[in-house]
Chains A and B, each alone.
Chain A
Amino acid sequence: DAKTTQPPSMDCAEGRAANLPCNHSTISGNEYVYWYRQIHSQGPQYIIHGLKNNETNEMASLIITEDRKSSTLILPHATLRDTAVYYCIVRVGGYSTLTFGKGTMLLVSP
């Protein structure tokens, strides 16, 4: 699976949009981009995934660049409960294992 690069930490004000970037320049054509998050001392939570089109669900939006070498997870109105480590993972389909990198620690402040 392709390697991903994320900033180690980001800050966001409550109520503002949080935009979390991820670089995956070696991504292959059959690899998906997944986002999970882990709130302190809890198990990871699935957020969203996509192949090449932008995706949106009740939690977030995923914007994938046209060359698919990078993506951005957008939390439109961040709340204090969104403070967590966010992991961007690239994997082939759904049957390959999820390999977690260091992720981005997002701190949402009042």
Chain B
Amino acid sequence: GAVVSQHPSWVICKSGTSVKIECRSLDFQATTMFWYRQFPKQSLMLMATSNEGSKATYEQGVEKDKFLINHASLTLSTLTVTSAHPEDSSFYICSARPGGSGASPYEQYFGPGTRLTVT
């Protein structure tokens, strides 16, 4: 089956620093990738949608200058949390949708998530 990986699986950083999280589709090409955030005991909230080679579309209330998303290739998207603060501590999950001929548009695969703690 399709596999999506994230790196790192967990990270602790100091307030004011930046953190980069990678999302990779391992055995398929993903024309579209999604970034979600999940606070404890809450559901997943979509942050942004990115298409390969173009700028990400951010959901209302998500600061695009703080959460930088790059989708430079069909297998890699990165989320950079700039000037992180304790309130950015959360579980960040990426998701990828296969593209290309033969790919089902109904499929969307999720990564294992990255636990970010900002001290």
Contacts and interface: CB of A to CB of B under 8 A. Distances in A.
A49 B106 contact: yes
Interface stretch (B14-22, B41-49, B62-70, B71-79): B41-49
- The interface residues of chain A, by DSSP majority, are classed as loop
A42 B112 CA distance: 5
Most buried by B among A44, A46, A101: A44
Nearest to B106: A94
A43 B112 contact: yes
B44 A44 contact: yes
A94 B107 contact: yes
- The interface residues of chain B, by DSSP majority, are classed as strand
B109 A46 contact: yes
B62 to A, nearest CB: 13
Contacts of A102: 43
A94 B104 contact: yes
Contacts of B108: 46, 94, 98
Contacts of A28: none
A43 B95 contact: yes
B107 A46 contact: yes
The 6 closest A-B pairs by CB, nearest first: A94-B105, A43-B110, A94-B106, A100-B44, A100-B43, A44-B110
Interface of A: 32, 38, 41-46, 49, 87, 93-95, 97-103
Interface of B: 4, 6, 34, 36, 43-46, 49, 91, 93, 95, 97, 104-113, 115
